[in-house]
Amino acid sequence: MSFAHLHVHTQYSFLDGANKISALAEATKNAGMNAVAMTDRGNMYGAVEFQKACLKNDVKPIFGCELFVVQKDRTDPSDSRHTSLVLLAETLEGYRNLIACVSHTWLEGWHNDMPRADRALLEEYRSGTIALSGGMGGDVAQALLRRDVAKAKELIEGWRDLFGVDNYFIQLEDYGLREHAQINEQLVELANECGVRTVATNACHYLKAEDARSHAALMCIGLAKDFSALKENIPDGLWLKPEPFMREQFDWALDSVDTAAEVAARCNVEIPLGATYLPQYEVPEDVGLDGFLRQKSLEGLEQRFVEFEVQGLNVEKQAYFDRLDTEIETIVAMGFPGYFLIVWDFIAKAREMGVPVGPGRGSGAGSLVAYTLGITDIDPLRYGLLFERFLNVERVSMPDFDIDFCMAQRDKVIRYVTEKYGKHNVGQIITYGTLKAKAALRDIGRVLNLSFGEVDRIAKLIPDELGINLTDSLKKEPRIRELFSEDPRYKELYDTALKVEGLTRHAGIHAAGIVISEEPLWHYVPICRGAGGEIVTQYAKDEVEQAGLVKFDFLGLKTLTVIDHSVRLINETLQKNGEELFDLRSVPMDDSKVFELLSSGETTGVFQLESSGFKELMKKLRPNCFEDIVAAVALYRPGPLGSGMVDDFVKRKHGETKVEYPHPILEEVLKETYGVIVYQEQVMQIARTVGGYSLGGADILRRAMGKKKAEVMAEQKTIFLDGAKQLGIVEPGTAEKIFDLMAYFAGYGFNKSHSAAYGLISYQTAYLKAHHPVEFMAALLTADGDNTDKVVRYIGDAKTMGIVVRPPDVNLSQKGFSVDNGGIRFGMGAIKNVGEGAVDSIIAEREVPYNTLFEFVERVDLKRVNRRVVEALTKSGAFDCFGKDRGIIFHNIERALERGQSMARDRESGQTSLFGLLDVAKGGDGDSNGKSSYDMDVDEWTDRARLSFEKDAIGFYVSGHPLDRFKSEIKRYASDTSKLATLDNRQEITLAAVVVAMRERPLKSGNGRMAFLTIEDTRGQAEILVFSKVFALAEELIKSGEPLLIKGSVQIEGDDDVRNFKLRATEISLLSAVRRERTSTVAFTIGTDTVVPEAVARIRQICNEHPGVCKVMVFVTLPGSGTAMVTCSEELRVDASEELINAVQRILGRDSITLS
């Protein structure tokens, strides 16, 4: 065995180690070394990946960890000083002890984001391990740096006695620090005195010496510093030095280099992969797992038959019994009854706890057993879903149910599973975030102290392609290379970013994955803690399954929360009226109102169908059956959309293109999709019908076609054509054409089981919107109450549907949005500064309605309903029910609170004023001494002030919008924010909006400023970039608070599937100024009740006070006789100004003036 590096930090020492695992294994092999260790700080995240990479390169992997060790007790947060110790796994027992030890550093020693070990933990898990002293960060080296030789010797002897003389080694290092020369000689002397050996190591952080600067940049990212913080003190020796270099460097201690080879030779561990450790599900002893599964499946099937009868469905029961038998036989043969029962159990418990569960997702929806057990809720026989797409004896793999739960209650199910199987036997799964192309450029730009504008200029040249990297970007975008010649710093930025691109930046938690084990998780994988203290596996999704744990996906789906809330709101009304309660599961699947809604494209809030592109597809498709929805869900993806499949499908449906089949025998398979191969299941059915495949074999063919491996495809084609020949139904030439057609469409085909299950949720949300729009929109608003953009869009949609959205009301509002007299009432829980306790107090005390502000503060608990709460309620409009202007109520808050607090003190002391009793009893506006009467000596709030305060309190406008007075003009001049996502990069658009947030940034040159705006219209919000030239011209307008007309070009940003649409402003104007400029005619509409001499004279006076160039027209509405136009003198010309409009509206009303 040659020399091996035993102290190495990979990319999983976040923003510290710069060794990518695959590159590390290759570099080790190329350097002539046949073993290498992985010793990341406090974790073993990359162990499985490390093993695979090493074995691929004929390099022995050595598993280890650099532990943080405290002096006394890892559970004591005050024991804050820590040193390093490197622990290596010598044997498989040592590996298991190592992952247990690392896990416990997170379980009991986790403090200040650091997993800590102590002597007791190391003693418990020392067997089968080898310890290294930790190098410069170890306790021995630290003692010597403090010149405490006696302490250093004491520490060596302690570790020697704990691990054994042959299992504890003193590390010698020399990577460029002056302290190495200071202590290395002492380390050798102490090692000799204590009878232990030294080992040469290098704390490798990167592969080559020239990587030192990029590694330093990586560390600066982690420290949020720029290079100036390092003061050019960048060590350049932390690289993967080959054996000759190490021997030359340690020529004074060559035995330590040989020791490294000996230690490497002793470490022989291969992590066992491929087994499955499923937890045991307890069933009655006399039944067994197989029998219990059959029993519960049959019971569930009988229940489904009852549901069919209620729905008026006639089914062939024997077909269900036969399919059930076939599935159970397969499940039992593959050894998965326990898995099905575990899933059945926690889903049944979820339903029992009232947690909404989705109808299924993925291929699991094709299982009848799952349907009978209630794991899924869509009938696979009715919709032609295939079990073999999910589970297949010819393709042995674990079943994988993805379960959707209500987002708000998902944690209840996780808690149940944790309590049932044990808190250390259930964990979530780690994920890793990496430095992608644009992120790497931006992070390194900050380290190099480049300005935002400079970095942004380069980052925006990176093509918006899925998974694009910097190397490919340079090939595809020549302008990047042009920038290199413009400024050498840009070349350094790119080169440094290239070095760190792809490195792991941080850890997260998988959105859905849960693992459940029979024994504590650390018996199988190392574990850590999430940011919230959750138990999390250190191995990611694929690696944790390879290590033997079974993953269960507990997904949180907000739409289920919306559905649940909608149904509860519907049933609250029905219950009050004594009517039969609504059951969404029993609604007809052929409801005409649903298909009318979908065909109109008015699908905002409808699951999956609310994007602008999907709305257009719905309008073209005009679905008239559930199967059309299922197909649309499958087709609305980049592949089919780009291939022309979608257009072909739509034309065939509407008879614009003839429906043709590759062969008449395939009509039954392809009829529901008008002859187009849409689903993977159709590929499987064609293989069975034409090629004589079993459905299991057809699934293997389907997978092969999806992967497009030439050798496998050729083999499968032979099998298919031979099968077709034996069946003799299809001519050989036709069979070959069918195979090629299948191969083509297999690349686009989608999982029908998933489409059907999610199509059901789409149908259900569409049904709710079509039949119960008020309840549905209220539920949507409640679910997305913290997303201002969505709330604005939903309020706009509700208004378009004719639904009134009313402000909060202390007498009528609940915590969330609620149904109120045919409209939606804003929830008090969504008002800023109004906490749950305050809402509870307000609701608890309102058995008798509140009549005045004074009465309100006298009745509620002022410890929970304090001044901030009362002010917020006033601004939001929650006191409008008192019949006073918000400005007057706000002005009286101080007086009301003083009285309320006085009465509260009296109540506490048992002294209740007679006047107070009388005042509350009569609900009056005042009392005998005037203390609870309103002080009216204050101006009412203007519309602008009212809306501004309302926005502050709620986050958006409810009682109106600043753009309302420009409705007709906006239709003529502008689009809206919802259209941004439909546009291409650099495409122009004009928006009418108000500024709701602004951030200024000075240019690095000092010549001006730019601004980042968040704007809002009645359909949503958008980000606007205002560069210096435009900002200099429009700064005053932007800060005016007035509605603006903004013209600009779309900028699409983001990596992979996260795309952000921004607008780069090219021109900004006041909307009122544009209206004034573009208006040629001002028309007044006057009702006969207002045609009185005084009013007409006043209108004439206003016109004279605002002379201009616009013609004047007058329309008089005559009851029962239409409208009469009164011609005005050509000499009467007015200015279409805000002042004129406001003056006329005060006399004639808000809708009395029209501009054109």
**Predicted model pTM:** 0.80
746-759, pLDDT tens digit by residue?
778 888 999 999 99
Rounded Cα distance, 1054 and 439, in Å: 9
Q: What is the pLDDT of residue 189?
A: 96
Burial (CB count within 10 angstroms: exposed 0-12, middle 13-18, buried 19+), residue 558: middle
User: Do 565 and 551 share a structural domain?
Assistant: no
Q: What angle do CA 1114, 1118, 1121 make, to 5 degrees?
A: 120
User: Do 623 and 703 share a structural domain?
Assistant: yes
In a domain, 872, yes or no: yes
Domain boundary among 559, 594, 629: 559
Query: In terms of Cα–Cα distance, which of 1067, 1062, 1060, 1004 is closest to 1034?
Result: 1067
Q: Which two three-digit tokens encode residue 255?
A: 């035995």
Name the 3-class secondary structure at 17: coil
Q: Which two three-digit tokens encode residue 510?
A: 């998988």
In a domain, 453, yes or no: no
Q: What is the number of domains present in the chain?
A: 6
User: Do 351 and 330 share a structural domain?
Assistant: yes
Domain boundary among 1026, 1056, 1073: 1073
Residue 335 belongs to what domain range? 288-431+509-559
Name the DSSP letter for residue 1090: G
Distances (CA, A) of 971 to 335, 611, 693, 795, 908: 64, 22, 59, 18, 60
Q: What is the pLDDT of residue 1059?
A: 65
User: Do 980 and 943 share a structural domain?
Assistant: no
Q: What is the pLDDT of residue 424?
A: 95
User: Do 56 and 172 share a structural domain?
Assistant: yes
Name the DSSP letter for residue 569: H
In a domain, 148, yes or no: yes
In a domain, 216, yes or no: no
Distances (CA, A) of 907 to 902, 903, 913, 922: 9, 6, 9, 19
User: Do 829 and 713 share a structural domain?
Assistant: no
Q: What is the pLDDT of residue 917?
A: 43
Exposed e or buried b for every residue in 176-208, given b needs 16+ CB within 10 A? Answer: eeeebeebbebbbebbeebebbbbbbbbbbbbe
Q: What is the pLDDT of residue 632?
A: 93
Strands in 376-418 per DSSP E: 402-406
Which amino acid is residue 749, in one-letter code? Answer: G
CATH label of the domain that carries residue 1004: 2.40.50.140
Distances (CA, A) of 960 to 681, 888, 978, 1017, 1121: 51, 20, 19, 12, 32
In a domain, 437, yes or no: no
Query: In terms of Cα–Cα distance, which of 155, 157, 158, 94 is closest to 129?
Result: 94
In a domain, 724, yes or no: yes
User: Do 817 and 750 share a structural domain?
Assistant: no
Name the DSSP letter for residue 206: B
Element (H, E) at 429: strand 426-434
Domain boundary among 923, 954, 985: 954
Nearest 10 degrees: Cα torsion 624, 627, 628, 632: 150
Query: In terms of Cα–Cα distance, which of 369, 395, 441, 1021 is closest to 684?
Result: 395
Q: What angle do CA 51, 55, 57 make, to 5 degrees?
A: 125
687 within 8 A of 697, measured Cβ to Cβ: yes
1086-1100, pLDDT tens digit by residue?
877 666 777 778 888
Rounded Cα distance, 1149 and 85, in Å: 80
For the beta carbon of residue 897, count every other beta carbon within 10 angstroms: 18
In a domain, 682, yes or no: yes
User: Do 776 and 748 share a structural domain?
Assistant: no
Which residues, 6+ apart, have CB-to-CB distance to 612 below 8 Å? 978, 979, 981, 982
Interhelix angle 752-771/626-635, nearest 10 degrees: 120
Which regions in the chain score pLDDT beneath 70? 231-233, 907-932, 1054-1059, 1089-1091, 1120-1121
Which residues, 6+ apart, have CB-to-CB distance to 236 below 8 Å? 176, 209, 212
User: Do 924 and 1050 share a structural domain?
Assistant: no
User: Do 646 and 604 share a structural domain?
Assistant: yes
Give the largest CA-CA distance in the chain.
116
Query: In terms of Cα–Cα distance, which of 786, 794, 867 is closest to 831?
Result: 786
Token pair 């502000």 is found at 853
1117 within 8 A of 1086, measured Cβ to Cβ: yes
870 within 8 A of 859, measured Cβ to Cβ: no
User: Do 139 and 112 share a structural domain?
Assistant: yes
User: Do 532 and 578 share a structural domain?
Assistant: no
The CA-to-CA distance between both ends of the chain, in Å, stands at 89
Name the 3-class secondary structure at 993: strand
Name the 3-class secondary structure at 1009: strand
CATH label of the domain that carries residue 121: 3.20.20.140
Element (H, E) at 351: helix 337-352
In a domain, 475, yes or no: no
Token pair 């009740």 is found at 1089
